[in-house]
Amino acid sequence: MSDVFVSYKAEDRPRVELLVDALEAEGLSVWWDARVGGGEAWREAIAEQLDGAKCVIVIWSKRSTGPEGRFVRDEANHAQHRGTYLPVTIDKVQPPLGFGEMQALSLTGWKGDASDPRYRAVSACVHSMLGRAAPADAQHGRGARVSRRAALAASGGVAVLAAGAGTWFLLRRSRTQANTIAVLPFANLSGDPSQGYFSDGIAEEVRSALAALGGLEVVARTSSEVLRNADAITAARRLSVANVVTGSVRRSQSAVRVSAPSTTTMVSR
pLDDT in tens, 60-93: 999 999 999 999 999 999 998 898 999 999 999 9
Q: Give how far Cα 71 sits from Cα of 10, 59, 74, 158, 213, Å.
A: 10, 12, 5, 28, 38
> What fold characterizes domain 4-112?
Rossmann fold (3.40.50)
- End-to-end CA, the chain: 59
Cα separation, 102 vs 64, in Å, equals 17
Q: Return d(Cα 236, Cα 233) in angstroms, integer.
A: 5
Query: Percentage of the chain with pLDDT > 90?
Result: 28
Q: In this predicted model, what pLDDT tens digit does every residue of 200-256 receive, in sequence order?
A: 888 888 888 888 776 778 888 878 888 888 877 788 888 888 888 888 887 766 666
Q: Where in the chain is the domain with CATH 3.40.50.10140?
A: 4-112
In whole angstroms, give the CA distance from residue 110 to residue 26.
18
| 185 DSSP 8-state letter | P
Q: What are phi and psi of 143, to 5 degrees?
A: 160, -160
Residues 162-190: pLDDT tens digits?
333 344 333 333 433 567 888 888 888 87
| pTM, rounded to two decimals | 0.55
Pairing assessment for the beta strands 30-31 and 55-60 based on DSSP bridges = unpaired
CATH assignment of 148-267? 3.40.50
Task: State residue 255's pLDDT score.
Answer: 66
